[in-house]
Amino acid sequence: MFQRLQQKWKVNGWRLLLILITFATGGSLCGYLGRLIISQLNIGQPVIRIIIYIVIVTILWPFCVILISIPTGQFNFFRAYLTKMGQRMVGKQPATADRAETSSNEENQNKLIMSQKENNTTSTPFRIAIFASGAGSNAAKIIEYFKGKPETEVALVVCNKPGAGVLGIAQKAGIPTLLIEKEQFFRGNGYVDELQHANIGFVVLAGFLWKVPTSLIQAYSGRIVNIHPALLPKYGGKGMYGMHVHNAVIEAKEKESGISIHFVDEVYDHGAVIYQAICTISDTDTPDMLAQKIHQLEHAHYPRVIEEVIAGLQKRS
C-alpha cells in the first residue's frame, strides 16, 4: 500500500511519512476544533449535533491540514492535493500530468508522435531534453548548436546531482532545469509525466550516469540517445564511465579509442550504435590526455548526429 502511495504521489519514503503525519495531525486538530465549536453551540438534538459536527469538520479539514503542512514542510504537496480535490468536486478534469499517470505506454508513444507531427506542420520547435550528471561540456555544445536551429529547441536540462556544472550552463542559457530524485526515477515512472508535460519529444544523455529505467525507455522508445567515451562494445557496461573508461583503455595499451553514439535500451551501453569516431593513442598519452581527445570528438560530432537522428524520426512519423 505504501509503495502504491509513493508511486501515485511520486514521493520518496521519507516524504510519504511526513505527508501521512500531516494527514493524521491535521485530522486530529480538525476533530478537536469541531468538538470545541459544537460544545459552544449548545445544541440539544443529537442528530442535529452530528450533522453540524460533520459540516464543521468538512469545512475545517482543508485549513487544518494546510496549517500542519507548513511545519512538516509539505505545503506544496497539500496545496496541489486540495486544488485537485476541489477540481474533482466541481467536476473538472485534473491537470495533464495526473491524467498522463494513468495512460499506457502505447498512448504515451502516440502522444509523442502526434506532438511531433504537429511540430512538422507548424513552426513550433521540436523539443529535446538533455540528461546530464556532471560538468556538462557536451550539454553546452548541444545547447549552442541548436540555438542557431529554430526547428529544434533544447527545452529542458535534467540532472540528478545538485550543484553539477551542467545546471549552471542551463541557467545561463535560460533553459529550465529539472533536478531528479533517485526514488522517483527508479520506483516512480522515470519522470515520464514531467517530460510529456513539457512536450519533450527526444532525450539526449550527455554524461548522465544513472541507468535509464524501463518506464522511460518504453515511453521514449527509439528516442533516447547516449554518448559513450570509447569504441563500444569495448569498455562499456556498468561502472564504465568518464575517467574509468580512459584509465582502462590506457592500461590495456590500446592504440586507438573513440566515441560511440548509440540508442539507449535496457542494458548499459548496449543499444544500436548510430555513429563512431576514432582517435589514435600514442605511447606517451595519459588518461587525462585521452579524455581531452575524446571530448574534442564528442563536441565535434554529437550535436550534428543528434540533429540527423531527429530528422530521420520526423521523416518517418
Positions annotated as catalytic residues are 228
CA 106, 108, 109 angle in degrees (round to 5)?
A: 65
Closest CA to 258 of 234, 274, 237, 288: 234
- The torsion region of residue 5 among left (phi > 0), alpha (psi -120 to 50) and beta comes to alpha
Is 199 near ligand GAR (CB under 6 A)? no
Among 227, 249, 281, 297, binds ligand GAR (CB under 6 A): 227
Among 26, 34, 134, 258, binds ligand GAR (CB under 6 A): 134
**Helical pair 13-41 and 46-69, crossing angle rounded to 10 deg:** 140
Check if the beta carbon of residue 302 is closer than 8 Å to that of residue 142: yes
Pull the grid cell for residue 275: 555513429
Is 303 near ligand GAR (CB under 6 A)? no
Residues 85-124, one symbol each (x = binds ligand GAR by CB under 6 A, - = not), give ----------------------------------------
Check if the beta carbon of residue 231 is closer than 8 Å to that of residue 245: no
Shortest reach from residue 8's CB to ligand GAR, in Å: 32
C-alpha distance from residue 6 to each of 1, 3, 19, 22, 184 (Å) = 9, 5, 10, 15, 8
Is 31 near ligand GAR (CB under 6 A)? no
Is 131 near ligand GAR (CB under 6 A)? no
Check if the beta carbon of residue 150 is closer than 8 Å to that of residue 180: no
Question: How many amino acids of this chain bind ligand GAR (CB under 6 A)?
Answer: 18
Is 26 near ligand GAR (CB under 6 A)? no
Q: Which parts of 255-294 interact with ligand GAR (CB under 6 A)?
A: 294
Is 137 near ligand GAR (CB under 6 A)? yes
Is 138 near ligand GAR (CB under 6 A)? yes
- Using CB positions, name the residue nearest to ligand GAR: 207
Per CB under 6 A, residues contacting ligand GAR are 132, 134-139, 206-207, 227-229, 241-242, 245, 294-295, 298
